[in-house]
Chain A
Amino acid sequence: MENTELDLNLAETVVKKALAAGADEVEVLFSQGYESGVKLRKGKVDLLNEAQPKALSLRLYREKRAAVAYTSDFSKAALDDLVMRAMDMAVISDPDPAAGLPDPDDLAFQYNENLGIWDPAIGDIPTEVKVEMVRRCEDSAFAFDTRINNTGGTTFSTNLRQVGLVNSLGFAGTYKTSHCSFGLDAVVDDAEGKKQNGWWFTISNNFKEMKSPEEVGRIAAQRAINKIGGRKIKTSKMPIIWDPMVASDLLGTLAGSLSGDALERRSTFLIPFEGQKIGSDLVTLVDDPLRPGLRGTRPFDGEGVEVRRKNIFDKGVFQGFIFNSYTARKTSHKTTGNATGGIGSLPGVGVSNFYIEPGNVTQEEIIAGVEEGLFLTEMIGFGYNPVTGDFSRGAVGWWIENGKLAYPVAEINIAGNMKDMLSNITQVGNDLEFLFSISSPTIRIDNMTVSGL
């Protein structure tokens, strides 16, 4: 990152301006970063891009009336204008007793800056090195199987960012995060001329921890080959084995129903179940913002509140919703440090590093235990109703027969209700890897509806 350090003084100036203009409570959230991408397709550099995005968001309250304004122009004139616009907008909002900054006691006046999420070396990777790595990745996919005849390209992306937060309660904090990634879409033509793709990737906060290009290319190719000749299966109820990618996706879907925001908007099926056991004994879901070196790691939340590790589900018991300060006040709870900071919007609520505690069986053992069922490797569509927990997605995978993968399946749909699905988790694998901020090992869920023929 080109010698750019966020200027906390600038943010403090904006806070003071807003207070002087008549605001009661003020917060400035701002970020500045450097990002770049190199895309290679069929051996040729297809895209080079580079940018230094920045944004400043002002949240203020005037007699408990909220307003948010943002700008990417940090000039004095623009910042003066920002304050005036926000003050004008606050007049339009209705007063809300729950509105406002967090309680001072909850703020993270002291926080750990060394969480392993900053690797400045990511900003200095020479373009030639990136090109060489993505070339090796693509080459290994083509070399894996001659049927791989095309790719959607491989992009090496880097992202460095500094976030700063200053409020009128005296909080001033900042931290830096970085990550780099590349992923490959390998394409194959199957016998009927239908094209199939396989995608795989590596992403890390630290350059040295990226997976080898060859490994990524090989897995992408294998995933494409695996889809050749996919067919429908008969409509019925069956156990589904979720590979870590799709299981992580499922946890991400559930995460939206855990927020105080969803509780307050009455848009989560979990409303009646606080403190109750609704999942199987295997369901222990952890939210850990302080686990070092991961995508969801952060020293304080999106409004400067202290963060901590917690079990949201403990052996199947739903421990309670997660909150930012607003949704906590609105529903008579305490904030859990789960505010997500939005540029240009009021803070939201979200998990940090969220995962299911791994078990002690391997994926092979889980598959071996299924007489007839589906090994799920991909989902398409977004079919989830958080209000009822009804879940329905298009699916791709393998038919399992007598504990073995029999043939690929496609154009099918899987459906169930999230509450039933949580109670029907009958096995959890030992293969937890933190691929995303939301991660899962392989899991088995019984009695799901599969629609096909």
Chain B
Amino acid sequence: MTTENAQVALGFFQTRYGIDQNILNDLLAVAMSRGGDFAELYSEYRQTSLLNYEDQAVRQSSGGITQGMGVRVVQGDSVGYAYSEDFSIESLKHAATTAAQIANSSQGKVNPVDATILSGANLYPIEKPTIDARALEKLEIIRRVDKAARAHDPSISKVSVIFADELKRVLIATSDGRLAADVQPLFTIRASVIAEKDGKRERGFKSASARRGLEYFDQIISPEEVGVLAAKQAVTNLSAIEAPAGVMPVVLGAGESGVLLHEAVGHGLEGDFNYKKLSNYSDRVGEKVASELCSVVDDGTVPHTRGTLNIDDEGNPTHYNVLIENGLLRGYMQDRISSTQMSVAPTGNGRRESFRKYPMTRMTNTYMLNGETPFDDLIKAVPRGLYCVEYGGGQVDINSGDFVFIVTEAYMIEDGQITAPVKGVNLIGNGPDVLSKVTMVANDFQLAGNGGMCGKNGQSVPVSLGMPSVLVSSITVGGTAA
């Protein structure tokens, strides 16, 4: 049994570029000509489209096609990598020969690729990918976002909306005989708003993203909601006070606060850093690395979600992977090389930005499991602290575990009540340290629906995050009001 997506992708490369099993086998033989543990061919055809709407006019309509094949040869944990941007046999063979240079023995073993390809459920069945939708349909959605944002408050002076989408077809063949293929749709809508009042200017953002068609806007979030949320953030920030500076308790709101997990523990639990013993979590499986209230998973199988994949970019199926269970470190995310080095099974976390890049261990959808405490109890427990709602991204130093993230919407908590909005908030801490200070976990789990990108070694991939609200008993808040 095969998924329909896989069949479609397989047929596509065959029909359009003549890439059939014979050619794949020939190329794998070239790639393995100097030996190596395995070789892999990653073919990609990606259509993109972008509409940029500003000041109630379409300022830019653009789109493009990138296609090519990346060839990877692996010996131990050493990688030879080359790619070709066209599918001519000559060019593909040149790439395979170049990648082969990493190995230094005689012809390696190639098992002919198997026609029976990966089976499994399609995690993003779509009737009509957005890339095939008419521009006018997308424009209609954009206009609704824009209109709602502008109508929200007279202080709104500027609204821009971007609708970006893509459809990616991939075909993966490996020298151990595996053939995998997929069709991966993805869209992102982003609203940016400027509010101005009494000489003050502030901004607000909201994005939404999924592996779905335009039905998303009827079923999940309306265009109006996207616009209003962006506008509200800008208007709220107009009256925001300077953030306090120093150590205090912080309530991280449900959903988008998942960026904490992503930065504080996610990167540190990527297999490649751990077999190289570069992470603060290296050699710590079974140890307590967080408060017992915390269970964290990376789950590439949540239907339609931005970080979800039927197969990872090495052709392995994605999984629900438990990373931390009741505070104990259970395991790492793994790609093919890291799993071999650590003698465990791959977890479906081998991802890459495009055929131009080699895969690394990467997150998919990283989230914390739900707790039992009502949200209000978390707020009531704080005499003076912060409540953080929306974020502008973060960064971690993998080695030390020190991280920073930017909060774009936050409020003071005073005497157990949410009070004034604050601006310019940064949270800074150390991953294991902060997770050990989680003292309450609420029962309001949410998966964030925004359009997050995760960067690592110059490669960017779409991810999702989520969590219930949590109370961290103390964290350094980098404000300006010292």
Contact = CB atoms under 8 A, between A and B. Distances in A.
B381 interface: no
A381 B394 contact: yes
Contact of A195 (B157, B245, B393, B399): B399
Nearest to B427: A413
A187 B426 contact: no
B246 A453 contact: yes
Contact of B59 (A66, A267, A414): A66
Interface string B374-398: 0000000000000000001111111
Contacts of A346: 59-60, 62
Q: Is the interface of B mostly helix, strand, loop or mixed?
A: strand
Given A346-B60, A392-B424, A394-B402, A411 B476 contact: yes
Contacts of B50: 345
A66 B61 contact: yes
Given A232-B476, A344-B64, A451-B476, A380 B402 contact: yes
B452 interface: no
Interface in B400-446: 400-406, 423-426, 428-430
A53 B85 contact: yes
B241 interface: no
Contacts of B149: none
Q: Is the interface of A mostly helix, strand, loop or mixed?
A: strand
Interface string B36-66: 0000000000001011001001111111111
A85 interface: yes
A446 interface: no
Interface in B108-140: 135-136, 139
B428 A451 contact: yes
Contacts of A411: 402, 428-430, 476
Contacts of B48: 344
A451 B479 contact: yes
Contacts of B202: 387-388
Given A48-B81, A51-B83, A92 B58 contact: yes
B163 to A, nearest CB: 11
A69 B64 contact: yes
A69 B60 CA distance: 11
Contacts of A236: 482
A90 interface: yes
Contact of B406 (A265, A266, A269, A383): A383
Scoring B58, B280, B423, B428 by chain A CB atoms within 10 A of each residue's CB, the highest score goes to B428
Nearest to A127: B101
Contacts of A388: 201-202, 423-424
A89 B62 contact: yes
B51 A92 contact: yes
Interface stretch (B2-10, B72-80, B207-215): B72-80
Contacts of A73: 65, 67, 85-86
Interface of B: 48, 50-51, 54, 57-68, 77-83, 85-86, 98-99, 101-102, 135-136, 139, 157-158, 160, 194, 196, 201-203, 245-247, 276-280, 356, 358, 392-406, 423-426, 428-430, 476-482
